[in-house]
Chain A
Amino acid sequence: MNRISEDIIKEEISGGSRRSFLNISILISSAVVLGGIIYPVLKFLFPTATTVGMGEIETFSMSINEIPVGSAKIVRYKNRPAIVIRLKEQEIYALSAICTHLGCIVKWQEDKKELFCPCHAGRFDLYGNVLGGPPPKPLSVYKAVVEEDRILIKEV
């Protein structure tokens, strides 16, 4: 091998490694810049506890006079809708108001003593059991107690 071809080979090798070094450098710096744009944007869009005020309240209390005997009321318990039913003077039931089928809000049917979901006609009894319609699971049941003139709702 003569001197000239050796030089050409050397130049090709060094040129090749310089090219790949530059390519990798461009790739890394582009990734850093893109990441620096995408990260703040995702953080900006993603809800956090402070931005939506999701502080959970463990117990819920309301005045018993808010619900007449035989009727029901939708309340906010742990940031989700719950239904509180006053069947008799001191007999209170509390359940999740979110239908287990597709998440609509159930309503109280006083004449049938049932909870009815208006979206796809799911039916539940006062213990959350499915009586008919498409719901796959029973409603979650909460513990409702009356203390003096207030209704307290707790986890079972």
Chain B
Amino acid sequence: MNELRLGPILIRNRLLIALYNFVESRLGIKEIFDLEIFYKLAPSHLGIFSCFGGITFFLFILQIITGTLLLVYYVPTTAHAYDSVVHITNNIPFGWLIRGFHHWGANLMIITVFIHMGKIYFHGIYKNPRELNWITGMVLLMTTLSFSFTGYLLPWTQLSYWATVVGTEIPSAVPVIGDYIKFLLRGGTDISQVTLTRFFAVHIMVLPAAIVIFIGMHILMIRRQGISGPL
């Protein structure tokens, strides 16, 4: 066998074919590649604004990689958070680069995610049958904004401290439960080590798990439904 067709992919490399045959004979994975979601036909009407979902996804992958690298040196304590961020930026080789990617990637991700949403909204793509995808998109938007909010506190600068003071003050305007939400977010009456620790936990554990699940649903749905027609 000189070539192998897996769904839309054609493989000619003999080593890859041998590897595939090894797995196929044990697990029987051929049917998976025949699934319709692997056949992506890009319609000719797509323009630059159709790319912003994919650009956001790319930036998200970048955030995972650079975030994991920053995690190696970052110290989530009020005494050392700022020092460790300065240490990463000034002393660690290429630390400025990794942190710069994480910082600018985060900012760009907010911009691209809103352009993506605007395109979907103004072209009416959210309408039947894509309402569920719009809803997962809204969850992803909230998750992305939560990433920004929690990540902003982590360097423990004056800017991040007071931004968190203001940001956690906002929900206290909600009638009846507002003060409880503020108390829950801060983990106390003030911004303290407890706040930093829970923002850190949410930023590196809770939100990544949530966003991966919803990105998976978002992409599977668009693959299932296909890209919408022209305006």
Q: Which residue numbers of A lie inside 8 Å of B, CB to CB?
A: 40-41, 43-46, 48, 50-51
Cα distance A130–B55 in the bound complex, in angstroms? 64
Question: Are B91 and A44 in contact (CB-based, < 8 A)?
Answer: no
Shortest distance between the CB of B94 and any CB in chain A (Å): 4
A-B contact count (CB 8 A): 25
Cα distance A48–B94 in the bound complex, in angstroms? 12
Chain A residues with Cβ below 8 Å from B76 are none
> Which residues in chain B, 97-144, are within 8 Å of chain A measured between CB atoms?
97-98
Q: Indicate whether B93 reaches chain A with its CB closer than 8 angstroms.
A: yes
- Give the contacting residue for A48; candidates B69, B72, B93, B97; CB below 8 A: B93
Shortest distance between the CB of A32 and any CB in chain B (Å): 17
Chain A residues with Cβ below 8 Å from B163 are none
Identify the interface centre among B69, B72, B94, B98: most chain A CB within 10 Å of its CB.
B94
User: Can you list 22 A-B contacts with CB-CB less than 8 angstroms, sorted by A residue number?
Assistant: A40-B93, A40-B94, A40-B98, A41-B94, A41-B98, A43-B93, A43-B94, A44-B69, A44-B92, A44-B93, A44-B94, A44-B95, A44-B97, A44-B98, A45-B69, A45-B72, A46-B93, A48-B93, A50-B91, A51-B87, A51-B91, A51-B92
> Which residues in chain B, 134-183, are within 8 Å of chain A measured between CB atoms?
none
Shortest distance between the CB of B21 and any CB in chain A (Å): 25
Chain B residues with Cβ below 8 Å from A44 are 69, 72, 92-95, 97-98
